[in-house]
Amino acid sequence: MKKIITKIFVLSLTASIVFVGCKKEEASIANDAIPVKVVELRKENLSQNISSSGQFTTDDETFLSFKTGGIVKAVYVKEGDAIRKGQLLATLELTEIDASVSQAKVGYEKAARDLRRVENLYKDSVATLAQYQDAKSAFDLSAHQLEIAKYNLNHSEIRAISNGYILKKFVSEGELVNAGTPILQTNGAGNGTWILKVGVSDNEWSAISINDFAIVECDAVQNEKFEAEVFRKSEGVDPFSGTFTIDIKLTSKSKIQLASGLFGRAVITPTQRVSSWVIPYESILDGERNSAFVFVTDDFKTARKVKVKINALDEEKLLVSAGLEKSKVLITSGSAYLTDGSSIKIIK
């Protein structure tokens, strides 16, 4: 009987030690939990302003080139020069082109003589109908060749198509150029509409629509903001910048003193509303381009790290378009001390 009592006492003591140990372990876990603040996630339909920057140009910007290839004889203008409509800007060496015209003219004259001779013989029933038709076809062909040679001669010079300015000069005297090679870039800054070309991300591109309102600023014109609207969207990504191009046309009626190539900034107000989660900046752990990581919690005890896609941002908040579909509560502070699976303690 005494042995039984002793065994019961030992078992009770062991159970007490185990119970106390578990309590201490739970207390230790509680003490190791990282204090965090949370906020409930809600999706909203928002129209978020989009900011971007780019360079000014005009809607009548043109690249001028020769119709035929050859050696550049002279370029009569330099970058920045004002030009008048019809002004001679550049010419080619005409030696080869003049020879082509002379050759075509000789061929035309010979074909004309042959046609007259065969036509007379045909009337006298000496030449056949087939011979007459062949001579007529040869004449017509030579006439077209002469016309082409004269056309090339007339287009061996470049003249201004409107009043404006020389933006870029691509070649110099003595260079050999092919047909269609850009020689000069011009614009009609005095008459054309000013356009700001900006680059945007794929998400911003999809949110922007034609005729969306915009406000444009330029450091060269201080303390002024110009009303504008989106009038063109690129249908492909720019291979050099990796962005999509948006053309913003200034609609201000006042005369604007700008120059092509000046830097400008635009704030576009999309009419299209986008469904997004609104989260504070401090909830972001790290990110790259349009993606980032945040921590959420499902049970209010454990942190879970998720990757989100950022749709837009401003000075105070981020708009997230994907990644939070299965989450209800976002951790807004304490993220810097968390890892995936960390124990947390919610604080007010």
Q: Are 254 and 273 a contacting pair, CB within 8 Å?
A: no
**Separation between Cα atoms, residue 310 and residue 291, nearest integer Å:** 5
CATH number at 61-92+156-189: 2.40.50.100
Which residues are bridge partners to 267 per DSSP? Answer: 51, 215
By DSSP bridging, strand 344-346 and strand 34-40 are parallel
Q: Are 334 and 344 in contact (CB under 8 A)?
A: yes
**Residues 150-206 pLDDT 10s:** 888 888 889 998 888 888 899 999 999 998 899 999 887 556 688 999 999 887 898
Q: Tell whether the model's pLDDT for residue 21 goes beyond 60.
A: no
Answer whether residue 210 shows pLDDT above 80: yes
DSSP assignment of 26-40: HHHHHHHSEEEEEEE
Over residues 286-311, mean pLDDT: 88
Selected from 2.40.420.20, 2.60.40.420, 3.10.450.50, 3.90.79.10, the CATH number assigned to the domain covering 33-46+274-346 reads: 2.40.420.20
- Look at 275 and 17; give whichever has higher pLDDT: 275
pLDDT band at 15 (very low <50, low <70, confident <90, very high): very low
CATH of 51-59+193-269, one of 1.10.10.10, 2.60.120.340, 3.40.1160.10, 2.40.30.170: 2.40.30.170
Of 311 and 85, the one with more pLDDT: 85
Percent of the chain whose pLDDT exceeds 90: 40
Write the DSSP symbol of residue 347.
-
CATH fold of 95-155 reads: Helix Hairpins (1.10.287)
Rounded to two decimals, the pTM is: 0.55
Q: What pLDDT sits at residue 153? A: 83
Using N-to-C axis directions, what is the helix angle for 95-123 and 129-154, rounded to 10°?
A: 160
- Mean pLDDT of the 330-344 span: 89
